[in-house]
């Protein structure tokens, strides 16, 4: 009964906060045209300071509107980012943060922001990207029209909220042949971690071409809006869905993966909503992507559900500016990772929950870029500088701190610099507070998260909000202890491996792994949790007990373990030792088009 009351008291869609002037006549409510694009950070846009960018339409929009200088994605990849957008809930908070996972949320209590717009008399259209990463409801169900924009319908059905998503700047447009670009490869600036190689420069040029085409599409939409006589009643918003797109940007919690363009143009008739006295102003306010759906509802005078986790940053309902942006990263396609970030306008703090794996891991989609291939070859040739080679090696750093103002490439880790000790502690504390406040669902392996929710017949959202099933403070404490890499904690890790919570046991085993403790490896080898067993087996292999370790990993693979993707990743992380398991890996027959199949194929390509 207590748990039921706890769950019922969390969120309920009928509990709404009224923001703005609702029930206004249609002609007094603004239309909104949201022009989204994909995979580009501010570094690819002219008005944000890149002299080589060719983005005249976006630059002009900035002159006519308000240019936000500190807008950050909460996830550096599309599906978790769009999950956050559609619900107004951070994907790390409801379990939808692993890439392309489609886990359910409680749809009876959590609606999508277009539902509230429709309830307020708005016609809602989307041309045509969804990718919400959420199961249990068709992505199209919340839209009046999903597909190529119908401008006549928009004119007839005001007020409207229309999304037009350009795919022209997507990562795929940077893949393949890089010859004969319109943009001169010499006319660009390389990130300091990228080697100055012909294919790298050409890949930069190829993406500049893609950005120029995307900018033309933005211009075409704005021209159509004006030609239809809708411009004077329409707020125009432009931003990307996260940063990117050359290697070590998209998917990573660095500035290049999170810092995004955001420009908002508001007609004179809505001057009372302006964030500054004059258009063309650069706005210094910190904005997170989770703020956007709540703000759009406020601007339109729609009901704002109280479960939304953002802050209204624009219009008559503007709330106090937040101090931090909270970001997260979990599994990206076939590669397992786990990290969090928190940033102010200047400093970026990253906490790595898997410091024993490289930042840049082989990923089929990422390796379709010539720049990635060239960078990889250069590092393997031994010619790369320390900074260029660093990202292909295990991180070793549990914490990272960067001065984004003076080090926009985020290559000088200040975490051990005593001059920044107070900043580090402030951000470290703030990150923990955010993780607790928003019920960080990624503090146990993904497979264990899914398993625990299913065993309790709950969505992940509800499971992580039940402290009897998932204690965020306890898991954070366990993770922090494990990542300290302190031999004094070995007895505690042994005790943790006896805990009834598989998450606590997992972190106990990680602690043993980081200290190469063979005794703990044997203790975890028969654990009920397959994830604990896998880490225990890896520990034994690293400490010389290879036969026992390999046998455990082989059993997990042949018996169809729910942790098989973790095991396949471990085969790669083992380096040359991974060859031992390749006969078993080659014999696997995972589901077609699954990430297990993709990881198996990666290993076959690696080992031959």
pLDDT tens, 15-47?
Answer: 444 444 345 666 689 999 999 999 999 999 999
Average pLDDT rounded to a whole number, residues 371-378: 98
Q: Dmax over Cα atoms in the chain, in whole Å?
A: 75
- Write down which residue in 425, 452, 472 finishes a domain: 425
For residue 178, tell me if it sits in a domain: no
| For range 506-527, the mean pLDDT | 98
C-alpha triplet 280, 319, 300: angle, nearest 5°: 70
* CATH number (domain holding residue 16): 3.40.720.10
Give the pLDDT score at 444.
98
Going by their DSSP bridges, the two strands 134-135 and 347-352 should be labelled as unpaired
The H or E element that residue 71 is part of is strand 66-72
Q: Please, which pLDDT band fits residue 608 given cuts at 50, 70 and 90?
A: confident
φ/ψ of 125, rounded to 5, equals -130, 155
Domain membership of residue 245 (yes or no) is yes
Residues 449 and 589 grouped into a single domain = yes
What is the DSSP pairing of strand 303-305 with strand 16-18?
A: antiparallel
pLDDT confidence band for 396 (50 / 70 / 90): confident
Task: Give the integer Cα–Cα distance in Å for 6 and 352.
Answer: 31
pLDDT tens-digit profile of 213-255? Answer: 999 999 999 999 999 999 999 999 999 999 999 999 999 999 9
Two tokens at 552? Answer: 């455990």
Q: Are residues 249 and 124 in the same domain?
A: yes
**To the nearest whole number, what is the mean pLDDT of the chain?**
95
Examine the domain organization and report whether 115 and 81 are in the same domain.
yes
Q: Which of 322, 356, 380 is the last residue of a domain?
A: 322
Inside any domain, residue 501 = yes
> What is the structure's pLDDT at 149?
98
Range of the domain at 58: 2-172+233-322
For 123-143, write each residue's pLDDT tens digit: 999 999 999 999 999 999 999
**Pair (503, 369) in one structural domain:** no
Rounded to the nearest angstrom, the gap between the alpha carbon of residue 198 and the centroid of all alpha carbons in its chain is: 30
Q: How confident is the model at residue 9 (pLDDT cuts 50, 70, 90)?
A: very low
What integer pLDDT is reported at residue 27 of this predicted model?
65
**Residues 260 and 71 sit within 8 Å (Cβ to Cβ):** yes
User: Which of 293, 371, 358, 356 has its CA nearest to residue 332?
Assistant: 358
Q: Are residues 39 and 108 in the same domain?
A: yes
Strand partners, 66: 264
Query: Which is nearest to 57 in space by CA: 228, 206, 222?
Result: 222
- Nearest by Cα to 248 from 391, 368, 424: 391
The CA distances from residue 302 to 19, 115, 305, 306, in Å, are 7, 10, 10, 13
CATH number for the domain including 540? 1.25.10.10
Q: What is the pLDDT of residues 431-454, one digit of tens each?
A: 999 999 999 999 999 999 999 999
Q: Does residue 5 have a pLDDT over 70?
A: no
Question: Is residue 537 within 8 Å of residue 549, measured between CB atoms?
Answer: yes
Residue 199 lies in a domain: no
* Residues 485 and 367 both lie in one domain: no
- Indicate the range of 11-20, 39-48, 169-178, 192-201 predicted with least confidence: 11-20
Q: How far apart are CA 389 and CA 360, in angstroms?
A: 10
Residue 75 lies in a domain: yes
Are 312 and 343 in the same domain?
no
- Res 26: pLDDT: 65
pLDDT at 11 over 50: no
Are 315 and 346 in a shared domain?
no
The answer to whether residue 197 sits within a structural domain is: no
Domain count, the chain: 3
Q: Does residue 36 belong to any structural domain of this protein?
A: yes
> How many CB atoms are located within 10 Å of the residue 396 CB?
10
Q: Considering only CA atoms, which of 33, 43, 34 is closest in space to residue 258?
A: 43
**pTM confidence score:** 0.95
Cβ 427 vs Cβ 347: under 8 Å? yes
Please write the tens of the pLDDT for every residue from 321-355.
999 999 999 999 999 999 999 999 999 999 999 99
Confidence of residue 166 (pLDDT cuts 50, 70, 90): very high
Let me know whether 276 and 128 are in one domain. Answer: yes
Statement to judge: residues 483 and 409 lie in one domain: no
pLDDT in the model for residue 598: 97
Nearest alpha-carbon partner for 428 in 352, 354, 350, 355: 350
The answer to whether residue 432 is domain-embedded is no
pLDDT of residue 28: 82
Same structural domain, 495 and 394: no
pLDDT the model gives residue 280: 98
308 and 414 in a single domain? The answer is no
pLDDT at 143: 98
Is residue 374 exposed (0-12), middle (13-18) or buried (19+ Cβ within 10 Å)? Answer: buried
Which residue shows structure tokens 């004006």? 226
**Last residue of a domain, which of 287, 322, 357?**
322
Token reading at 531: 């994830």
pLDDT at 4 over 80: no
């Amino acid at each position: 009964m207590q748990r039921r009351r706890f769950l019922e008291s969390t969120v309920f869609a009928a509990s709404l906060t009224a923001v703005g002037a609702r029930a206004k006549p249609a002609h007094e409510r603004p239309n909104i045209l949201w022009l989204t694009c994909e995979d580009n950070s501010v570094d690819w846009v002219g008005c944000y300071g890149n002299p080589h960018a060719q983005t005249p339409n976006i630059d002009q929009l900035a002159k006519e509107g308000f240019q936000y200088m500190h807008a950050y994605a909460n996830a550096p990849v599309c599906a978790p980012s769009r999950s956050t957008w559609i619900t107004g809930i951070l994907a790390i908070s409801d379990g939808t943060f692993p890439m392309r996972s489609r886990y359910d949320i409680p749809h009876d209590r959590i609606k999508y922001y277009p539902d509230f717009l429709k309830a307020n008399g708005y016609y809602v259209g989307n041309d045509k990207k969804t990718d919400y990463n959420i199961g249990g409801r068709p992505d199209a169900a919340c839209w009046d029209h999903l597909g190529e924009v119908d401008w006549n319908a928009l004119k007839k059905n005001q007020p409207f909220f229309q999304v037009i998503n350009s795919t022209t700047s997507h990562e795929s447009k940077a893949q393949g042949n890089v010859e004969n670009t319109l943009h001169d490869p010499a006319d660009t600036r390389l990130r300091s971690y990228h080697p100055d190689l012909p294919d790298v420069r050409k890949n930069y040029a190829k993406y500049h071409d893609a950005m120029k085409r995307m900018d033309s599409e933005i211009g075409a939409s704005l021209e159509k809006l004006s030609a239809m006589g809708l411009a004077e009643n329409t707020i125009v918003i432009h931003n990307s869905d996260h940063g990117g797109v050359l290697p070590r940007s998209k998917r990573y919690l660095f500035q290049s993966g999170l810092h995004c363009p955001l420009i908002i143009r508001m007609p004179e008739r809505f001057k009372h909503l302006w964030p500054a006295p004059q258009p063309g102003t650069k706005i210094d306010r910190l904005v997170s992507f989770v703020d956007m759906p709540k703000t759009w509802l406020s601007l339109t005078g729609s009901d704002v559900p109280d479960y939304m986790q953002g802050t209204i940053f624009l219009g008559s309902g503007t709330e106090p500016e937040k101090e931090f942006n909270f970001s997260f990263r979990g599994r990206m396609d076939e590669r397992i990772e786990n990290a969090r970030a928190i940033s102010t306008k200047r400093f970026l703090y990253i906490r790595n929950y898997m410091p024993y794996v490289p930042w840049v891991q082989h990923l089929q989609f990422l390796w379709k870029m010539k720049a990635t291939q060239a960078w990889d070859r250069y590092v393997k040739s031994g010619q790369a500088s320390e900074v260029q080679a660093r990202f292909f090696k295990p991180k070793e750093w549990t914490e990272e701190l960067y001065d984004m103002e003076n080090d926009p490439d985020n290559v000088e880790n200040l975490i051990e610099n005593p001059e920044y000790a107070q900043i580090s502690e402030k951000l470290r504390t703030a990150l923990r507070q955010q993780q607790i406040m928003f019920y960080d669902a990624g503090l146990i392996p993904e497979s264990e998260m899914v398993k625990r929710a299913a065993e309790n017949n709950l969505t992940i959202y509800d499971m992580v909000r039940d402290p009897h099933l998932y204690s965020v403070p306890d898991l954070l404490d366990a993770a922090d202890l494990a990542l300290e890499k302190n031999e004094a904690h070995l007895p505690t890790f042994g005790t943790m491996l006896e805990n009834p919570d598989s998450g606590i046991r997992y972190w106990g085993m990680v602690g043993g792994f980081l200290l190469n403790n063979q005794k703990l490896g044997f203790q975890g080898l028969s654990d009920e949790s397959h994830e604990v067993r896998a880490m225990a087996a890896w520990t034994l292999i690293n400490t010389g007990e290879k036969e026992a370790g390999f046998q455990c990993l082989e059993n997990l693979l042949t018996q169809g373990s729910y942790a098989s993707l973790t095991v396949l990743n471990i085969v790669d992380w083992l380096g040359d030792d991974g060859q031992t398991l390749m006969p078993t890996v080659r014999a696997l027959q995972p589901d077609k088009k699954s990430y297990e199949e993709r990881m198996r194929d990666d290993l076959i390509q690696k080992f031959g």
